[in-house]
């Protein structure tokens, strides 16, 4: 019997040989493409960066409906592939926008130990190259980034993701090469990956963003859990469509198709009040950030203790159903995002702080059980889901309500010396106007009563908590200052970035440099429209 290492070498050689020859066509006309590494190893292994590159090259070569480009470079210089499926001339943003179709962006492998999304998207791309789901192109352009955290993916270890049920041959790590969690970097943009991702959002402007993960928390009986955006400032029409129609429709279709149960993401805490608690509402997370950009966002969390193969299948089915619904409702999706972009939020009360909101009544949650198994290669134990399930009634904490609010101003004024803030605003796609001359204006300045700095570093920063209040003053705003009009499509995001009490803004991350007056936040705002 061949050893594991010999098997890996043999399979790699066979894969390399398959790339030398062009894809063959079966008598039916179907393009016969190679299997993914996960499939070829009986779901023992997951794809490395080179495997993803080879597979995506092959599907793009095999189908005129699939185009390949790159949208980023990682910290270590790996180019991040982007596959574009649709009736477009090429993979450029110009061609995609010119199509007029609804754009859906699917991102996998932001945490490179959570690899089922990467494999599922490679399988889906192969299916598309073989002519599957051809009708999607009638109303959609689908953009797929299968290996977002490519540097983390290459840091393989048999013991990454501890108790996860495979792949037993190892997987990558959660952070990128800088040691940053890319799913905490959407506001501060410290990583080249996050800056490139936001640049993709600005260029391709997807109406829908799907983010593929694996969860390893509470022992439940769902094959996959999901979430819409959680920030209270998300446009209500986006949440309404997702919660009232889209996600319920997908859940019903999955149940009929597979018999599997999917539900909203949650965990039961080990301490404190029992309940089904979702994750954090702050926009440092991709899902919540996307909502503040007035776009639909759907988080997918396959269950870590299901088998690797089941996780891939669950993720693949989920994405297929999401795209099926998007195809059938493409015009309505565009209308909702267009209306959100056109909305003037000036004078609207918006949340700067929020906390969990309890459901009106308890809900039924499917709890499950696991058994222990042992990885024959590492000797470490892992957990395997069983078919046991029980229904437990508990309150659900799946949404957030404001605990502190502010009225959105007409504009913010950012001093020219705030280079980091200005650069990050530009990175996010915010429109800035530089003042050509001095001007006397009635503005609000935030008086700082106290500043609390976290004792421990988090994601490369010591988080700040500014406390105080806005006061009206008449000041001279000097030439060179940048005016940031809140009445633009990214107004909700601007508010969260620049408000000093925002729980995930530039002030929290320590990116705002002290001004001339240590008692005042250096960024002022106006409630009028001078």
Contact present, 251 and 263 (Cβ < 8 Å): yes
Residue 523 CB coordination number (10 Å):
25
- Among residues 241, 262, 383, 391, which one has the least CA distance to residue 318? 262
- Does some domain include residue 44? yes
Question: Is the domain of 411 the same as that of 486?
Answer: yes
Query: What kind and span of H or E run contains 419?
Result: helix 419-428
Residues sharing a CB contact under 8 Å with residue 207, sequence separation 6 or more, in sequence order: 102, 103, 104, 295, 296, 333, 334, 337
Per-residue confidence of the chain (530 residues) as pLDDT tens digits? 334 333 343 333 333 333 333 344 333 344 457 899 999 999 999 999 999 999 999 999 999 999 999 999 999 999 999 999 999 999 999 999 999 999 999 999 999 999 999 999 999 999 999 999 999 999 999 999 999 999 999 999 999 999 999 999 999 999 999 999 999 999 999 999 999 999 999 999 999 999 999 999 899 999 999 999 999 999 999 999 999 999 999 999 999 999 999 999 999 998 878 899 999 999 999 999 999 999 999 999 999 999 999 999 999 999 999 999 999 999 999 999 999 999 999 999 999 999 999 999 999 999 999 999 999 999 999 999 999 999 999 999 999 999 999 999 999 999 999 999 999 999 999 999 999 999 999 999 999 999 999 999 999 999 999 999 999 999 999 999 999 999 999 999 999 999 999 999 999 999 999 988 889 999 999 987 55
Give the number of residues written for the chain. Answer: 530
Question: Is the domain of 422 the same as that of 335?
Answer: no
- Does some domain include residue 366? no
Q: Give me the pLDDT at residue 529, please.
A: 58
Q: Give me the pLDDT at residue 24, please.
A: 40
- Does some domain include residue 358? no
Q: Tell me how far CA of residue 419 lies from CA of 238, 303, 513, in angstroms.
A: 34, 43, 9
Domain boundary among 295, 327, 342: 342
Question: Is the domain of 411 the same as that of 287?
Answer: no
Residues 437, 68: Cα–Cα separation, whole Å: 47
Question: Is the domain of 164 the same as that of 248?
Answer: yes
- List the 79-85 sheet strands across, edge first: 66-73, 79-85, 140-145, 102-108, 208-215, 296-303, 224-227, 262-264
Q: Which residue has the tokens 């990128």?
A: 176
Residues 227, 263: Cα–Cα separation, whole Å: 9
Instruction: Note the pTM of the prediction, 2 decimals.
Output: 0.94
List the structure tokens of 331. Answer: 């015009």
List the structure tokens of 230. Answer: 């959680």
List the structure tokens of 303. Answer: 């269950």
- Does some domain include residue 365? no
Residues 296, 300: Cα–Cα separation, whole Å: 13
Q: Decide: residue 202, CB within 10 A, 0-12 exposed, 13-18 middle, 19+ buried.
A: middle
Segments forming the whole domain that contains residue 450: 407-526
Instruction: Assess whether the previous peptide bond of 264 is cis (omega < 30° from 0).
Output: no
Residues sharing a CB contact under 8 Å with residue 453, sequence separation 6 or more, in sequence order: 462, 463, 464, 465
Question: Is the domain of 39 the same as that of 149?
Answer: yes
Question: Is the domain of 10 the same as that of 86?
Answer: yes
| DSSP string for residues in 95-131 | HHHHT--EEEEEEE-SSTT--HHHHHHHHHHHHHHTT
- Among residues 371, 363, 364, 372, which one has the least CA distance to residue 387? 371
Contact present, 410 and 486 (Cβ < 8 Å): yes
- List the 439-453 sheet strands across, edge first: 433-434, 482-485, 411-414, 524-526, 439-453, 464-477
Q: Which residue has the tokens 């943009």?
A: 189
- Does some domain include residue 486? yes
- Among residues 409, 529, 412, which one has the least CA distance to residue 482? 412
Residues sharing a CB contact under 8 Å with residue 353, sequence separation 6 or more, in sequence order: 402, 403, 404, 501, 503
Domain boundary among 342, 372, 392: 342
Q: Give me the pLDDT at residue 133, please.
A: 98
Strands 349-357 and 399-407: antiparallel
CATH number at residue 324: 3.40.630.10
| DSSP string for residues in 52-64 | HHHHHHHHHHH-T
- Among residues 464, 428, 448, which one has the least CA distance to residue 524? 448
For the chain, the domain total comes to 2
Question: Is the domain of 445 the same as that of 522?
Answer: yes
Question: Is the domain of 304 the same as that of 433?
Answer: no
Q: Give me the pLDDT at residue 300, please.
A: 98
Residue 24 CB coordination number (10 Å):
11
Mark out the alpha helices in 205-285 (DSSP H runs): 236-241, 247-258
Q: Spell out where 261-320 has E strands.
A: 262-264, 276-277, 296-303
Question: Is the domain of 415 the same as that of 276?
Answer: no
Each residue of 506-516: b (16+ CB within 10 Å) or e?
Answer: bbbbbbbeebe
- Does some domain include residue 147? yes
N- to C-terminal Cα separation, the chain: 79
Q: Give me the pLDDT at residue 4, please.
A: 39
Domain boundary among 319, 342, 365: 342
């Amino acid at each position: 019997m061949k050893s594991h290492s010999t098997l890996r070498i043999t399979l790699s050689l066979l894969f390399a040989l398959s790339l030398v020859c062009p894809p063959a066509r079966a008598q039916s006309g179907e393009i016969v493409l190679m299997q993914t590494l996960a499939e070829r190893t009986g779901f023992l292994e997951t794809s490395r960066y080179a495997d993803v590159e080879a597979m995506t090259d092959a599907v793009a070569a095999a189908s005129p409906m699939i185009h390949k480009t790159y949208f980023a470079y990682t910290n270590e210089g790996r180019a991040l592939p982007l596959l574009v499926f649709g009736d477009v001339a090429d993979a450029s943003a110009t061609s995609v926008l010119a199509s007029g179709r609804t754009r859906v962006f699917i991102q996998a492998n932001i945490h490179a130990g959570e690899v089922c999304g990467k494999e599922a998207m490679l399988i889906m791309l192969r299916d598309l190259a073989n002519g599957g789901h051809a009708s999607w192109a009638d109303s959609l352009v689908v953009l797929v980034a299968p290996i977002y955290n490519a540097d983390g993916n290459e840091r393989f270890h048999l013991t990454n993701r501890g108790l996860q049920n495979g792949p037993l041959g190892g997987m990558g790590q959660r952070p990128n090469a800088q040691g940053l969690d890319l799913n905490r970097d959407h506001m501060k943009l410290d990583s080249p990956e996050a800056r490139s991702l936001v640049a993709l959002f600005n260029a391709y402007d997807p109406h829908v963003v799907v983010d593929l993960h694996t969860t390893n928390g509470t022992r439940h009986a769902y094959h996959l859990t999901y979430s819409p955006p959680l920030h209270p400032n998300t446009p209500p029409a986006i949440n309404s469509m997702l919660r009232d129609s889209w996600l319920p429709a997908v859940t019903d279709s999955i149940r009929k198709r597979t018999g599997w149960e999917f539900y909203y993401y949650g965990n039961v805490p080990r301490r404190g009040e029992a309940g089904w608690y979702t994750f954090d509402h702050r926009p440092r997370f991709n899902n919540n950030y996307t909502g503040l950009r007035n776009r639909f966002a759907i988080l997918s969390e396959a269950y870590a203790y299901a088998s690797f193969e089941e996780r891939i299948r669950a993720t693949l089915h989920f994405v297929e159903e999401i795209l099926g619904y998007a195809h059938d409702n493409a015009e309505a999706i565009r209308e909702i995002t267009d209306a959100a972009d056109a909305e003037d939020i000036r004078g609207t009360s918006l949340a700067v702080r929020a906390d969990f909101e309890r459901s009106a009544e308890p809900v039924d949650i499917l709890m499950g059980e696991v058994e222990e198994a042992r990885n024959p290669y590492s000797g470490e134990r892992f957990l395997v889901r069983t078919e046991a399930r029980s229904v437990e009634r508990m309150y659900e904490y799946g949404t957030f309500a404001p605990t502190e609010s502010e009225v959105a101003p007409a504009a913010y004024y950012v001093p020219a010396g705030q280079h980091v803030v200005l650069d990050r605003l530009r990175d996010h796609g915010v429109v800035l106007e530089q003042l050509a001359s001095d001007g006397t204006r009635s503005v609000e300045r935030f008086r700082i009563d106290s500043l609390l700095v976290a004792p421990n570093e988090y994601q490369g920063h010591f988080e700040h908590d500014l406390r105080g209040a806005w006061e009206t003053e008449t000041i001279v705003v000097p030439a060179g200052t940048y005016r940031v009009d809140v009445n633009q499509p990214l107004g909700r995001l601007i508010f969260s970035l620049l408000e000093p009490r925002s729980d995930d803004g530039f002030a929290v991350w320590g990116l705002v440099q002290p001004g001339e007056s240590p008692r005042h936040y250096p960024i002022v705002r106006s409630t009028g429209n001078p």
